Amino acid sequence: MADLIKRLWTAIVLVPILVIALFVDRSPWSILALSVLFGGLALDEYLRMALPQRSLSGPAATSGPEYGLRAFMAVLGAAVVALPMVFGAGRVLPPLLMFSVIAVALALLGRKHALEQAGRHMSVCLAALLYVPLLASVWPQIKHHFGPGWLFVTLAIAFLSDTGAYAFGRLWGKHKLYPAVSPGKTWEGSLGGLVGANVATLGFGSAFLLPELAVGHAIVLGVLGSLAGQVGDLFESMLKRSHGVKDSGNLLPGHGGMLDRVDALLFVGPVVYYFAANVVFADGLPG
């Protein structure tokens, strides 16, 4: 019960902010700002899991040098989230990712105290950029190109899929889905996730916010979005298990860290974006 109350208070704070950014501010800038903020927090949580201070040896182990690397990655991550929306993903993203590799290499060359960890740090930093900021960069683009209703449905797919999976798992869950990674998840819960996602695409989408989304397309998008979100959730669980942590952080009471909250959304966003661009609006983007 205490955990549920914490979750409700977190929702009371976050939901109005999201509603204002989605529907009151008709421009994409507030969503872009939230995407940079949420993506940056999730990126930092991933880096703190994958590059803990104990990985260093000698005096550096207690001097906090990882903070500088995390700050550098926060700036780089913000650029990866923001610049594709500002200048166009097709135009800016390839050179941005290329120069990000060079920037990370230069940053690691300057860290003489951690040369023995340079290969591992390079792998973690580049994986972090692809895992969080790159995937988060589609959130503001969904609103910018397709409208706020599409981003709302994207959020609804991720969160209702998670809710449906939890409800079905608690009520009928018997057959373990992937116990080596997440012992509590079941095949029955996964089915509930598909149901929840279709509530989002059909109920909030076709019947309400997205009249251009045909029922057949809504069902396909609900299935694809739910499967992507469940993969994102399982993947983050695998990462946490491999790094020996229960939650990515404690930023959001009742939810854990920011990465715990957006793990599914990171994977759902690209599915919705490219489904809308290549199926629903195959003849051209709206507006």
pLDDT tens per residue, range 168-226:
999 999 999 999 999 999 999 999 999 999 999 999 999 999 999 999 999 999 999 99
How many helices (H) and strands (E) the chain has is answered by 12, 2
Q: Which residue has the tokens 């051209």?
A: 284
pLDDT the model gives residue 7: 64
Between 140-144, 172-176, 250-254, the lowest mean confidence (pLDDT) is in 250-254
Domain limits for position 240: 2-280
Asked if residue 287 belongs to a domain, the reply is no
C-alpha distance across the termini of the chain, in Å? 47
**Residue 126, class by beta-carbon neighbours within 10 Å (0-12 exposed, 13-18 middle, 19+ buried)?**
middle
Domains: count for the chain: 1
d(CA 39, CA 137): 9
Question: Which is more confident, 58 or 17?
Answer: 17
Question: How large is the average pLDDT for residues 2-16?
Answer: 71
Query: Which pair of tokens denotes residue 210?
Result: 């997205």
Asked if residue 6 belongs to a domain, the reply is yes
Question: Which is more confident, 60 or 15?
Answer: 15
Question: How large is the average pLDDT for residues 41-69?
Answer: 68
pLDDT the model gives residue 286: 55
pLDDT the model gives residue 3: 58
Asked if residue 286 belongs to a domain, the reply is no
pLDDT of 61 above 50? no
pLDDT of 65 above 50? no
Asked if residue 89 belongs to a domain, the reply is yes
Asked if residue 256 belongs to a domain, the reply is yes
3-class DSSP state of 96:
helix
pLDDT band at 6, cuts 50/70/90?
low
Q: Nearest 5°: CA angle at 22, between 19 and 23?
A: 80
d(CA 27, CA 139): 13
Q: Which residue has the tokens 């939901």?
A: 15
Asked if residue 285 belongs to a domain, the reply is no
Q: Nearest 5°: CA angle at 13, between 163 and 185?
A: 20
Query: Which pair of tokens denotes residue 98?
Result: 């290329």
**Residue 139, class by beta-carbon neighbours within 10 Å (0-12 exposed, 13-18 middle, 19+ buried)?**
buried
Asked if residue 260 belongs to a domain, the reply is yes
pLDDT tens per residue, range 259-278:
999 999 999 999 999 999 99
pTM of the model: 0.91
pLDDT the model gives residue 250: 84
